[in-house]
Amino acid sequence: MSESDALRGESIRGEAVRREAVRPTRRTVLAAAAAAAAGAVALPAAPATASAAASKTPAAAAATAAATTPADLAPYASYWFPDSLPEGAPGPGIVWRSLKRWTPQGDPDLAHNSATVPLAPRFTPVPPHPGARTGQARIASLVSFGPTAQNPSQGSATADYYALTHWAYIDELVFWGGSSGEGIVLAPNAPVVDAAHRNGVRVLGNVFLPPAAYGGDLRWTRDLVQRDSLGRFPIAEQLVRVASAYGFDGWFVNAETEGGDSELASLMRQFLRALRAAGEPHGLRITWYDAMNTTGRVGWQGALNELNQEFFEDRAGRVADTMFVDFRWTPQTLAASGALADRLGRSRHELWAAVDTESHGWNSAVRWDAIIPRGRDHIVSYGFYRPEWTRNHLTDRSPGAFHRADDRFWTGASLDPSRPAPEDTWRAPATAVADRSTVAALPFACSFNTGHGERWYEDGEVASDTPWNHLGLQDRLPGRRWVVDTAGQRPAVTLDFARAWRGGSSLLVAGPLTAPAAVGLHATRLPLTRSTVIELVHATEAGPVAVEVGVATREPAAPGEPVPYTWLRAESPGTGQAWRRSRVGLSALAGKTAYGLAVRITGLGKRAVAWRLGSLSVRDTAAGRRPASPAALTVDASARHEDQARLRLSWRRAAGPVRHYTVSRVLPDGSRRFLGGTCGAALYLPAVPRAGREPAAVFEVRAVDELYAASAPARTAMPW
């Protein structure tokens, strides 16, 4: 990498974070506009607040953080300074907080920010691409899902959101952000963690000690590594408390503030050891960013070497679980880094080589052979810096346009990982890294919901016409998008937002079918019994079709080989766009394991077809019990202006397994309108209009299980 490129790598992080602090919050504007236009809201918007701006001193700002007032009910993702606060007063909508003074008991937003989905175990199926490797390079992803301040805790009323779905290729996700004007310790919001955990991906919070050029202050580094009178590191203990209370998996530590010395570097290493030791009982991980070195100075190495290895592994053993190697790497430094990791007794794949995609996405110039050569073992792992370029660079920010771009980023220009496009400058993850899955137990269901949409559907009907996003409501989607096997013309296969059975999207197969087309869906490890059934909810919108379900009872012999499906005929959905349920029994496969699921579509005429799959489920019984109901639904706080209210709801969790909860409004005519959903037990509603002259607004919350069966509701009312 040239010196100019290296300097750009140095500045890109600070500049990106600075922009997050000052850019116009377009998401907020869209959310507010959508809510106003609809007269009701699907999920929490991000209303601008200025309560913190009135604070005149850091002490006053800290006091503001401890209180939730009717004037500011909206919960946001949490951010802090380690201990001391900046001089002056925070900007509008920003609240300065001291992490040292944080307690779970004093956190008014804890119920809104706590993830509840446990980290799912993963397995690695035989890859569909002949070049994808198992057990070698992995991928970390550094993503800014929103601004540091006023990043909604639980989604918002816009579909314009980085709804990441390609979890199958990611090992670790960092909730990127932070700035000297807002806060430099960030905890990820609950929807991101819940979606990641459902797919077996760890999520790390971010500790960002910024360069002085972007407002960094060395006292914050010293605050971070301070010791108490007993020699303990109180901020390390606080970081563990936060991660445990909020339900995420560890911390990315990035010390880029200049001016330190070897004594400070030694304290930082001891701090990392204390953080790792305190977090180990909770399964927490640490990733160290290649910036500060053992002299205490900031000197990005672009390598694991003698100047930074003690932050990764010292003579006493492991210090950090992984290291993010700065953009300055070269083929020589990565090769040397891998060799040094080997000598230290560590895996070379615990090193993430930084790949900058913020500005150019798949047009980025990357020396791939230095990381993941085609003809030999991978050198190290790699980490994407800001892959949300797939959304940010678009002029059409509709959900469909975003997913088309995101699929190209992760799968490649062919949009089929089993049939790669001719090699170009972009080496898509699906062509190098084996995908992974968590679909290993019954029951299993997928309604192809991406976690955002223009409307919310329930049983094929519109339950809210307000745009929304909430990653915690996302399904476990097919990891290989899209493997299509046909002897004829390949149809288009997309996640489509025009109609859905449940959530905001469905799977659409469209185009001429000159031969049967098999679409691979989930890689699985599902035990089959005599009572196991597969159920499809599907519709034909153009051209009559025959539909079959594919179940693979063994894996391919080698990467790139086709999956050996057994094909079973499903009832035709007919024509006329009506949704139809088709159930297929698997008793003939009892005692075997399903290693993969697919559908095969055959056109029955000469017309182009449009076939939509709204839901796929696999279960051991034809019908299960409804889940137990939540209880004690309560309006915790509300604020009203004329005939509109915003409020916080909470409830007691239902007994037994629950996938998520849905919250609805019961209108005076008895109809229900979907307001939002969450995996937790609390939800903020930013805009509830009065319906006519109703004396009270009536709310219901239902528990939803893995097959999307809903419980009987818990109810409460808010008088007007």
Q: For residues 485 and 334, what is the distance between their CA atoms, to the nearest angstrom?
A: 38
pLDDT value of position 622:
60
What is the token pair recorded at 438?
Answer: 């968590």
Q: What 8-state DSSP symbol labels residue 712?
A: P
What is the token pair recorded at 587?
Answer: 């008793």
Phi, psi of 266 (to 5 degrees): -65, -40
Helix (H, G, I), strand (E, B) or coil at 526: strand
pTM score of the predicted model: 0.90
pLDDT value of position 16:
41
Half-sphere exposure of residue 31, counting CA atoms within 13 Å on the CB side? 26
Q: What is the DSSP string of 99-162?
A: GGG--STT-TTHHHH---PPPPP-B-PPPSSTT-BSSS--EEEEE--S-STT-BTT-BS-S-S-
- Cis preceding linkage at 176, omega within 30: no
- Where do the DSSP E strands lie in 285-379? 285-289, 313-314, 317-318, 322-325, 351-356
Q: What is the DSSP string of 632-693?
A: EEEEEEEEEETTEEEEEEEEEPPSS--SEEEEEEE-TTS-EEEEEEESSSEEEEEEEE--TT
pLDDT value of position 7:
34
**Residues 584, 518: contact at Cβ < 8 Å?**
no
CA angle 110, 111, 115 (to 5 degrees): 90
The amino acid at 279: G
What is the token pair recorded at 434?
Answer: 């084996």
Q: Which residues contact 124 (CB under 8 A, 6 or more apart)?
A: 134, 135, 434, 435, 436
Q: CB neighbours (10 Å) of residue 605?
A: 11
**Residues 73, 684: contact at Cβ < 8 Å?**
yes
Strands 172-175 and 202-209: parallel
Along the chain (720 residues), what's the average pLDDT of each consecutive run of 10 residues? 36 40 30 30 31 34 37 89 96 96 96 97 96 96 97 97 98 97 98 98 98 96 97 98 98 97 98 97 98 96 98 96 98 98 98 98 97 96 98 97 97 92 89 97 97 98 97 97 95 97 98 96 97 96 94 96 96 84 96 98 92 97 82 96 94 96 96 97 96 96 97 97
